[in-house]
Amino acid sequence: MANIVLGIATSHGPLLSTPPEMWHLRAADDRKMQHPWRGGTYSFDELVKMRAGENLEFKASLDERVRRHTACQAAIATLARKWDEVKPDVAVIVGNDQMEIFTDQNIPTFLVYYGETIDNIPFSDEQRKRMPPGILIAEKSHHPDTPQSYPGLPDLAQHIIANLMAKEFDVAAAKRLPKTDASHTSGIPHAFGFVYRKIMSDRPVPSVPVFVNTFYPPNQPSTHRCLEMGKVVASAIESWKSDARVAVFASGGLSHFAVDEELDLSLIDGMKNNSEKALLAIPADSFRAGTSEMKNWIPVAGIMMNRGMKMNLIDYVPCYRSEAGTGNAMAFVYWQ
């Protein structure tokens, strides 16, 4: 039977791949948006007033941006070294789509991809024109310069699908990823591309992408459902008739675009303590906008619980890009 030998959870936000002096490219967009934060939704100026006591101008200063960006690069390098050290045979990657391949014509709550190959394709010229400020500069961390085709893992993927169905998860399945004129990409979304490029260093093993609809109402899964899904995936991996050594990834998060360190640490502490109660106690309205990507971490926490593997926090780095506290909190974790 297969054996889970490594768990990795990593942020994948564009700031990780953007020079600190250019973080303002996204901050300009922040000023136009309404931001979910601690149960409410606020304008940029409202957040500036509400968070005046947090010393955010200093935290968003160029010196701090450089320091925090450097810390993130060191943490990513540590995860890549851990991957190389353990050398898993295959991987299961939990991530989300942001209208990159799916559209509002059809957004599955959970989807398992079971194709033979996984295409990672750079933006076309037309797709580049549609990118918001500060996104295109980060493309190289998600997509290669030329189209690449990575190995899928249909046998394990279909085994996971069968196990989810047996446990009454009516999971969607895809042998091919959708391609439409409205899609932002033509291949695997950036949540997965980041893992292939930055952690596996463009040498991906056969893998199973598992999609969670963290972003888009009305069919986002609850925290409890994500946790239970992870447990079923763990059981499926361990009952798979293979002697493969398996790594499991979570890609995304933590809080953004309004950074909330208290919320982030509640998730990290809950995982470190293997506490389902703590994870389920996080208020449901916390999981909005980019912060919802924490729901990619929760299935992996469910996989890792009760497996005797220690959670190691490499670093937690809240990356601020404005005096309103907007940005992206980054975290980097492994279980072994």
Q: What is d(CA 248, CA 75) in angstroms, rounded to the nearest whole number?
A: 18
By CB atoms closer than 10 A (0-12, 13-18, 19+), residue 126 is exposed
Is residue 256 within 8 A of residue 327, CB to CB? The reply is yes
Encode pLDDT of 260-273 as tens digits.
999 999 999 999 99
Q: What is d(CA 225, CA 228) in angstroms, rounded to the nearest whole number?
A: 5
Q: Which residues contact 108 (CB under 8 A, 6 or more apart)?
A: 102, 171, 172, 211, 213
Q: What is the pLDDT of residue 190?
A: 94
Closest CA to 36 of 294, 263, 291: 291
Is residue 264 within 8 A of residue 318, CB to CB? The reply is yes
List the alpha helices (DSSP H) in 108-252: 125-129, 154-166, 190-194, 223-239
Q: What is the pLDDT of residue 182?
A: 66
Is residue 11 within 8 A of residue 96, CB to CB? The reply is no
List the alpha helices (DSSP H) in the chain: 24-30, 44-50, 56-59, 62-86, 125-129, 154-166, 190-194, 223-239, 261-272, 276-280, 294-304
Q: What is d(CA 334, CA 256) in angstroms, rounded to the nearest whole number?
A: 21
CATH of domain 3-335: 3.40.830.10
Token pair recorded at residue 114: 């079971």
Buried b (16+ CB within 10 A) or exposed e, 185-211: bbbbbbbbbbbbbbbbeeebbbbbbbb
pLDDT tens, position by position, for the chain (336 residues)? 999 999 999 999 999 999 999 998 888 889 999 999 999 999 999 999 999 999 999 999 999 999 999 999 999 999 999 999 999 999 999 999 999 999 999 999 999 999 999 999 988 888 888 887 778 888 888 889 999 999 999 999 999 999 999 999 999 999 999 887 767 777 899 999 999 999 999 999 999 999 999 999 999 999 999 999 999 999 999 999 999 999 999 999 999 999 999 999 999 999 999 999 999 999 999 999 999 999 999 999 999 998 989 999 999 999 999 999 999 999 999 999
This prediction's pTM: 0.96
Is residue 254 within 8 A of residue 313, CB to CB? The reply is no
Closest CA to 266 of 221, 211, 331: 331
**Greatest extent of the chain over all pairs of C-alpha atoms, in Å:** 57
